[in-house]
Amino acid sequence: MKSTSARKRTADSSGARLNTRLPVRAHLRIEEAAELSGATINQFVVQAALEKAERVIERERVTLLSARDARRLLQLLDAPPALNAKLKRGLEQYRKASDGNPDRAFEWPPQS
């Protein structure tokens, strides 16, 4: 995986390249669709890839709730239930493992 700075340089450049091999039938189909839409193959492929990327990113970042579930979530956030014994133990294990620092990375010990 590229580092953040490498991704930023690529995103900032106007000449980033994406090379791919594909079956002849797929190429012909894409070429036909590009012609029908009045775009070059490159324009068509880039637009289609961007549309797909946006859908995937949104699907992974957005959680849709029904109105009923949204109300329930807000109620729980406004008035959280009391911690049960298992949750208290887990919270204490987390605090010990992270030394109380929520930004500290740590490894959980293996459970037996």
Structure confidence by residue, pLDDT tens digits, 7-19: 555 555 578 888 9
- Report pLDDT for 70: 96
pLDDT band (50, 70, 90) for residue 1 = very low
Question: Using CA atoms, how far apart are residues 105 and 87, in angstroms rounded to an integer?
Answer: 21
Planar angle of CA 78, 90, 110, nearest 5 degrees = 145
Q: In this predicted model, which residue has the larger pLDDT, 107 or 58? A: 58
Q: How many CB atoms lie within 10 A of CB 44?
A: 19
Question: Using CA atoms, how far apart are residues 38 and 19, in angstroms rounded to an integer?
Answer: 22
Condensed to tens digits (0 to 9), the pLDDT of residues 77-92 reads: 999 989 999 999 988 8
Contacts of residue 40, defined as CB under 8 A and 6 or more positions apart, other chains included, come to: 34
Please answer whether residues 72 and 66 qualify as being in contact, where contact means their C-beta atoms are separated by less than 8 angstroms.
Answer: no
Q: Give the dihedral of Cα atoms 90, 94, 95, 100; nearest 10 deg.
A: -150
